[in-house]
Amino acid sequence: MDVKSHRIFQITYTLTRWDYAAMARALTRRPWQRSLVTMVLWLFAVWCLMVFYTNVYNPVVMVEAMVADGSMLWMVGGLAIVLLVSLATHWLAWGASFLSYRQIASANATITTTLSDDAIRVTSSVADSTVPWTTVKRIIRERNYLMLPISKREAFILPRRGFATQQEFDDACRYAAARHSTVVMESEV
């Protein structure tokens, strides 16, 4: 099948909290290398604060002093929090999205999304939008979703369940990829 043909994909679905959570996680997911750099920077910042308050520059001497003082448990707990925040921000965003879901205007709205050669059209009881493909930042494909981010916090969500078959979902993913200049296909982690 030629994905450059004038085929139009249209799906209708009800936006659920799981759809919103999947979008939040996908938009905040970043490469593990970047998470590692973030963690190293946090650890360096903590070390700088400890140096500022203790005037001890040697990390080995700091650890020995904490063990002797009995405050090692606090340090291990703090490092665990730094590790969690650095490596799992997309999961934290996923969890937080459940709390904010009821506050979004499109919660439980029935949404119709149409992909055509020139634009993406989204219609619901809340709003109607038509945006050109150049507005889409990248293509995110997961096992159950095709997402078309238009900003750092917003994306058009096309859930797999809105398509009649897996083949139609796959065709829509290829169709979107063929119309976008910077394609990043991501799979579910």
User: What confidence category does residue 181 fall into, taking pLDDT thresholds of 50, 70 and 90?
Assistant: low
- pLDDT at site 34: 77
pLDDT digits (tens, 9 = 90+) for 48-73: 887 888 888 788 888 788 788 877 78
Mean pLDDT along residues 84-102: 79
Cα distances from 183 to residues 85, 102, 110, 111, 115, in angstroms, run 28, 32, 28, 24, 16
Whether the pLDDT of residue 189 is over 50: the answer is no
* Whole-angstrom distance, CA of residue 138 vs CA of residue 152: 11
- pLDDT at site 1: 45
Mean pLDDT along residues 172-184: 80
Percentage of the residues of the chain whose pLDDT score is greater than 90: 38
pLDDT digits (tens, 9 = 90+) for 19-40: 999 998 888 877 778 777 888 8
3-class SS letters over 65-104: HHHHHCCHHHHHHHHHHHHHHHHCHHHHHHHHHHHHHHHC
Q: Which of 15-19, 49-53, 183-187 shows the highest mean pLDDT?
A: 15-19
- pLDDT at site 3: 47
Residues in the chain: 189
pLDDT digits (tens, 9 = 90+) for 132-151: 999 999 999 999 999 999 99
Mean pLDDT along residues 96-106: 84
* Whole-angstrom distance, CA of residue 83 vs CA of residue 140: 26
Mean pLDDT along residues 1-28: 82
